[in-house]
Structure 1
């Protein structure tokens, strides 16, 4: 596996020798991660609607939406276009890693919540567990890209404590809604991030 300096040296040699193609670090994994992100993005609406359908009123009411509801520690995807556009590849990847590390913890918590609130709703429980597993797979891709490009991983941090397990039923329903909703927002951002990264690090370069 090449370091960034080794890659630049190889590209310079290729250029001087008239070579039309030189490998770009992590380009294939970036392309694969874009496809994975698009797939996960396509499942976010169904995850949210399934979650809401089992929580009772007002959550299960037709057309329910509450953008003002929030829960401490849930990663927020909002960012101005200028700030997003000016991010380096390293910071773009780090922000994704930090977000999905937290979502991994939150989906574990929500699965535990729903095991108590809706233990018979196997389709919901399956989707929550599947989402957590998918996030872990996405994180593995992100770690691989970071390593191959010589970037350092962001520090590990968790926003959850064990006290979250004893929250009342309404609080559990609210945070589950916020997590599923904001996970969808983050997946939209991840798709945009990897569309940008795929342009910046194409599989082939002439």
Structure 2
């Protein structure tokens, strides 16, 4: 003959199951989100293969010349992908997610600026304009995934990025074309950095069987 479990004991069992279930689901959710982020960033990186060459080719002379170089040039306001290795290696997972969210929030504004410039400067380059539109639009799902990952890793939502373009003037066409190249160059470098950062995070996330 079976005895009925007391309400108190039953409640304790339910609480225990809920707590242990949450503990097991957290690593699963973290691993799933990181894998999804890794796949998405890899896809974005693949889409930028040949992007810089395509952009320069569409800008005409002197951009499409063999001796064109932007070494040493930098656009103020862009987030820098370059960082000392020790500083990068010692970042916490939360710091990595936050810096990526901030960087791509800024790039979303700069890619819109680039797209607006090219619509005016290169209106007949439909293939390039389509690619630039995709690059800009792809950042919305990326930022949404980064926001979800921040929540899983118990990081506060980042503050809205101030308008990074508020002090930009309207330079001559040559400078606008050059500015576009510098934006795309740093954007691709950031995608490379993001891949490395996510790989480090994945290596520390418990693998759930």
User: Could you say which TM-score interval applies, normalised by the shorter chain?
Assistant: 0.7 to 0.9
Q: How does 1:29-68 map to 2 (within 5 A)?
A: 29-62=33-66, 64-68=68-72
Q: CA deviation at 1:170?
A: 1.5
TM-score, normalised via structure 1 length? 0.84
The secondary structure found in structure 2 opposite 1:64 is: coil
Equivalenced residues, count: 190
Q: Which has the larger radius of gyration?
A: 2
- Name the residue aligned to 2:193: 189
The secondary structure found in structure 2 opposite 1:26 is: helix
Q: CA deviation at 1:145?
A: 0.5
Give the 3 Å change call, closer, same or farther, for CA 122–148 of structure 1 in structure 2.
Answer: same
For structure 2, the residue ranges without an aligned partner over 5 or more in a row are: 1-18
Does 2:12 match 1:10? no
Aligned-partner Cα distance in 2 for 1:121–1:13: 53
* Aligned 8 A contact 2:27 2:206 in 1: no
For structure 1, the residue ranges without an aligned partner over 5 or more in a row are: 1-8, 15-20
The secondary structure found in structure 2 opposite 1:154 is: coil
Give the 3 Å change call, closer, same or farther, for CA 63–89 of structure 1 in structure 2.
Answer: farther
Q: CA deviation at 1:33?
A: 0.8
Q: 1:160 aligns with which of 165, 172, 183?
A: 165
The secondary structure found in structure 1 opposite 2:50 is: helix
